């Protein structure tokens, strides 16, 4: 069968009801739901490739996928068609046709993840599925000092799952930014790639610093040790969101540039 057209689709989803992005037999996943719906639409199997695999319970504002269509609706109609067919917790946001050189994963230049902490005394009825409730006070200045040590290229073995599949643990972080919105504290990490649980462990470590249980100047030592036991806890998945994905200029740069909408 002819490959046809390559479609790039930007998705948002509430990860609460998904067992992660990647298809798993017998479990509800983002890839599985999308592939099943494309099969019902077109009558043929369509392989969906994602920019990365979010874990169970992790959300996305701008996950990017691509797939090849032998036929079907034009790209500018794809969002409208899929919005009518997909469940409410899986939202197609943008679609376009790209050349065969584009790959949702391998063409990525950098990604942005956002982690949200809710620092209010009581958890929010509206944010409890999208934030880690942490009512104890945190030393924000100490957390910012610790975060500066994470910038640049490092081996992040200490800050990833012990069972992480990637052999090369070297990644580059270009930006760590703290944004306060009322009782919520958003921490954004932008870099060229992230290991399994990496952002959640970084957040757990920064929170440990904020509690006064770890010194900011120990971050370089933890990095050098390459020992997961020295870093902080793994923060809960529901506070994490894949916020944006960036591609080379010929593919449009950052895929979404909207005001905060979560």
Q: Looking at the structure, do residues 142 and 44 belong to the same domain, yes or no?
A: no
- Same domain assignment for residues 102 and 124: no
- The answer to whether the CB of 182 falls within 8 A of the CB of 253 is no
Tokens found for residue 202 = 């970084």
For residue range 60-97, what is the model confidence (pLDDT) as tens digits? Answer: 999 999 999 988 888 889 999 999 999 999 999 999 99
What is the pLDDT, as a whole number, of residue 74?
87
Model confidence band, residue 1 (pLDDT cutoffs 50, 70, 90) = very low
Residues 54 and 90 in one domain: yes
The CATH code of the domain that includes 95 is: 3.30.70.580
Please say which residue of 54, 80, 107 terminates a domain.
107
Residues 23 and 130 in one domain: no
At residue 3, does pLDDT exceed 80?
no
Q: Quick check: is 259 in a domain?
A: no
56 and 170 share one domain = no
User: b vs e for 68-93, b when ≥16 Cβ sit within 10 Å of the residue's Cβ?
Assistant: bbeebbebeebbebbeeebeebbbbb
Q: Is 257 buried (19+), middle (13-18) or exposed (0-12) by CB count in 10 A?
A: exposed
Query: Given a cut of 50, is residue 2 above it in pLDDT?
Result: no
How far apart CA 7 and CA 18 sit, in angstroms, is 23
**Interval 149-168 mean pLDDT:** 90
Is 181 a known active-site residue? no
What pLDDT sits at residue 13? 98
What is the rounded average pLDDT of the residues 149-165?
91
Which residue matches tokens 């950098």? 110
Question: 36, 55, 89, 155: which is the annotated catalytic residue?
Answer: 55
CATH number of the domain where residue 184 is located? 3.30.70.660
Out of 6-10, 22-26, 74-78, 192-196, pick the least confident: 74-78
Same domain, yes or no: 72 and 128: no
* Secondary structure of residue 237 in the 3-state scheme: helix
Q: From 61, 86, 107, give the residue that closes a domain.
A: 107
**Is 9 contained in some domain?**
yes
Same domain, 9 and 92: yes
Cα-trace Rg, the chain: 19
| Interval 82-141: pLDDT, tens | 999 999 999 999 999 999 999 999 999 999 999 999 999 999 999 999 999 999 999 999
Clarify whether residues 124 and 225 are in a common domain. yes
**Structural domain contains residue 260:** no
Q: For the chain, what is the domain count?
A: 2
Is the same domain home to 60 and 114?
no
pLDDT of 162: 80
Q: Flag whether the pTM goes above 0.85.
A: yes
Residue 4's pLDDT band (boundaries 50, 70, 90)?
A: confident
Range of the domain at 198: 110-243
What does the alpha-carbon distance between residue 14 and residue 58 come to, in Å, rounded to a whole number?
A: 8
Q: What are the DSSP calls for 3-65, one per residue?
A: --EEEEEEEEE-GGGSS-SS--TTS--HHHHHHHHHHHHHSS----EES--PPTT-EEEEEEE
What's the whole-number average pLDDT of the chain? 94
Structure tokens at 141: 């200045």
Asked whether residue 181 falls in the same domain as residue 225, the answer is yes
> Mean pLDDT across the stretch 32-50?
95
132 and 52 part of one domain: no
* Binding-site residue set for substrate: 113
Domain match, 128 and 234 both:
yes
């Amino acid at each position: 069968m002819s490959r046809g057209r390559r479609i790039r689709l930007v998705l948002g989803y509430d990860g609460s009801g998904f067992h992660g992005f990647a298809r798993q037999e017998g479990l509800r996943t983002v890839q599985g739901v999308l592939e099943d719906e494309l099969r019902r639409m077109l009558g043929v199997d369509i392989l969906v490739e994602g920019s990365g695999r979010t874990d169970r319970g992790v959300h996305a504002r701008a996950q990017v996928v691509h797939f090849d269509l032998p036929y079907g609706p034009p790209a500018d109609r794809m969002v409208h068609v899929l919005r009518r067919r997909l469940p409410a917790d899986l939202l197609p946001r943008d679609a376009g046709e790209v050349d065969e050189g584009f790959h949702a994963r391998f063409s990525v230049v950098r990604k942005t993840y956002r982690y949200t902490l809710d620092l209010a005394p009581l958890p929010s009825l509206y944010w409890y599925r999208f934030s880690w409730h942490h009512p104890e006070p945190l030393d924000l200045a100490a957390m910012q000092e610790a975060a500066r040590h994470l910038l640049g290229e490092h081996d992040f073995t200490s800050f990833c799952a012990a069972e992480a599949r990637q052999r090369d643990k070297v990644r580059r972080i270009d930006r760590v930014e703290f944004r306060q919105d009322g009782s919520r504290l958003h921490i954004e990490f932008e870099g060229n790639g992230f290991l399994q649980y990496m952002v959640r462990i970084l957040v757990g470590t920064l929170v440990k610093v904020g509690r006064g249980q770890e010194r900011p100047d120990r971050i370089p030592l933890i990095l050098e040790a390459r020992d997961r036991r020295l870093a902080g806890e793994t923060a809960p998945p529901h506070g994490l969101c894949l916020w944006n994905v960036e591609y080379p200029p010929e593919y449009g740069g950052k895929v979404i540039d909207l005001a905060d909408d979560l």
